[in-house]
Structure 1
Amino acid sequence: MATLCRPSIAVPDNIITMDETLQLARTIHADHPQLGLVLRLIENTGVRTRHIIQPIEQTLQHPGFESRNLLYEREAKRMVPPVVFGALDNAGLGVRDIDLIVYVSCTGFMMPSLTAWLINELGFGTETRQLPIAQLGCAAGGAAINRAHDFCLAYPHANALIVACEFCSLCYQPTDIGVGSLLSNGLFGDAVAAAVVRGHGGAGVRLERNGSHLVPDTEDWISYAVRGTGFHFQLDKRVPTTMKMLAPALRALSEQHSWDISGLDFHIVHAGGPRILDDLCTFLEVEPEMFRYSRATLTERGNIASCVVFDALERLFRDGGVGDAGRGLIAGFGPGITAEMVLGTWAAAPRPAVGHLGAIGHGRRAEEQAGVG
């Protein structure tokens, strides 16, 4: 049975706080007719700190889409390799053990995908399959897990590496002053993440069933307008109500697996904002404590798009996980409106035998193969 192993996460060094965000909004948009509403909405996100790829003074400038995309590529190539090796270490594997790389990102564009660069530069086998996913937004973290799960179901002894890279701050558009755009300026953060799905062996979340759900006729609720200045994020005011439409799909998937979603042992969901978590408590009949890891990600790092589910899951690992065979849900939500959902059970790591090389040794061998470190 395929196992999602412990993720590896990294965030940029530049930090912006809630207070700084509010002060910027007051300064830059002092004459905005709905400034009071914007400030209240940003405060209500609960986001206390965010990490961004550039200092805020540079983030607020717009040198053009080409310059921003070159920065995206440069920083992706700088930040992704360490999290890849971290994820391989966590899974006890090396680069030559990977059969598929799933790369998800919606904040920059490269062709060939970063997957080709990773294979060439880090020493993955030239037969490694590549699956870039660029247009599922925040749902792509869940989709990556599901496509890796599908691959390992088809090839039970194969292993898949997931990489998520989101530099949301590079999508800042100074001319977009709608309430939804200004809210997003105070909500999104930057991060990179990686995780391995092992087809056989490993510790973490044993993946049992996955599913997708699209809410009809909501394509324009979350979208990009692609213009000469790059990606312009568009957010409909109805988006906060989406859990009323998606919660039944989560419950239905659980029921198909003969599980009661209200009685699961862990929930790792995309925290696009606090309303999502609050509504899931109501519609799924679970206690707020069940979403503590997703809420911590939102509070400390903001909405980091496809990286959210991996950051929240890593927090669960860091906290010791749940009891062996504990049941849980992982879900990402994004444009469409789309939900990508997976059910799994917790599988604790076995105690290593004396003299066993262990995950760190495997990962370091991977770095040596790639000429890194």
Structure 2
Amino acid sequence: MLEYIISQQDTINLAKTNFKDNTNLKNSIELIINTGFMKRYIIQPIELAMLHPGFGYRNAVFEYESKRLVPGVVEQALNNAAVSASQIAAIIYVSCSGFLMPSLTAWFINHMGLPGNTMQLPIAQLDCAAGSAAIDRAYDYVLAHPGSNVLIISCEFCSLSYQPTDGDVGSLLSDGLFSDAISAAIVTAELGEGLSLERNASYLIPETDK
């Protein structure tokens, strides 16, 4: 569980304080209210999240919090699927809010009991589409490897992307929309409880590359 909560009103108050002379402020606040999100969870107190001590520091926070919080979420996913860590054949890790080389997939294999020959697929730079892309790749894997289990992990700490001086509408809306969260799921070709994926495809809407 993430320890820190910021309410919608907290977000609006911060926007009014930090961007009080910004011409985008009124429209941004209306958009934030219309999101319907009354509270969000973050990994640090808001006072720390609002600072920008540099990418290196933020990336170190990402690594520390990922290693601290992800294992518990993965254990819950394994228990829900009645699958042990030793039965995982591939791990797909989705994140665009922190970058490490080697990927954290290697750390998970070494510290969570996954087989040493587990296939690793880190996915970055797909933003909101990354989760569906991870499911698609897991689907492809289990079709190609019958009887296998794929572990998907999504770890996004969006508060680490906060830019104190960025006052455009998109950034101000993001400040009131995105939170920090971790999720994990097991994908298998075996029939059982849970969601069933019948087919997959990918399509990019023209002129939406920016």
TM-score under structure 2 length normalisation: 0.97
Map residues 62-81 of structure 1 onto 2, 5 A cutoff: 62-81=52-71
1:88 to partner: Cα distance? 0.4
1:198 aligns with 2:182: no
1-side partners of 2:184 and 2:51: how far apart?
30
Q: Deviations over 1:48-71 (max 9, x none)?
A: 110011000111111110000000
Q: Deviations over 1:329-371 (max 9, x none)?
A: xxxxxxxxxxxxxxxxxxxxxxxxxxxxxxxxxxxxxxxxxxx
1:54 aligns with 2:44: yes
Q: Give the match's secondary structure for 2:203.
A: strand
1-side partners of 2:193 and 2:34: how far apart?
37
Contact 2:24 2:167 in 1 (8 A): no
Partner of 2:140: 150
Q: Give the match's secondary structure for 1:161.
A: strand
Map residues 54-133 of structure 1 onto 2, 5 A cutoff: 54-133=44-123
Q: Give the match's secondary structure for 1:210.
A: coil
The correspondence for 1:211, drawn from 201, 204, 209, is: 201
Partner of 1:33: 23
Identity score, percent:
55
Q: CA RMSD in A?
A: 1.0
1:33 to partner: Cα distance? 2.2
Partner of 2:6: 16
2-side partners of 1:107 and 1:118: how far apart?
18
| AA matched with 2:193 | A
Larger radius of gyration: 1
- Give 1 or 2: higher strand fraction: 1
Q: Deviations over 1:306-340 (max 9, x none)?
A: xxxxxxxxxxxxxxxxxxxxxxxxxxxxxxxxxxx
Q: Give the match's secondary structure for 1:62.
A: coil
2-side partners of 1:19 and 1:182: how far apart?
14
Runs ≥4 residues deviating over 4 A: none
Aligned residues: 210
2-side partners of 1:126 and 1:33: how far apart?
54
1:211 to partner: Cα distance? 1.0
Contact 1:92 1:202 in 2 (8 A): no
2-side partners of 1:173 and 1:48: how far apart?
22
Contact 1:87 1:196 in 2 (8 A): yes
Unaligned runs of 5+ in 2: none
Contact 1:115 1:130 in 2 (8 A): yes
Contact 1:164 1:192 in 2 (8 A): yes
2-side partners of 1:212 and 1:109: how far apart?
25
Partner of 2:169: 179
Map residues 229-248 of structure 1 onto 2, 5 A cutoff: none
TM-score under structure 1 length normalisation: 0.55
| AA matched with 1:30 | K
Map residues 216-227 of structure 1 onto 2, 5 A cutoff: 216-220=206-210
Q: Give the match's secondary structure for 1:145.
A: helix
1-side partners of 2:184 and 2:23: how far apart?
42
The correspondence for 1:163, drawn from 130, 153, 158, is: 153
1:180 to partner: Cα distance? 1.3
| AA matched with 2:88 | I
| AA matched with 2:121 | L
Contact 2:78 2:84 in 1 (8 A): yes
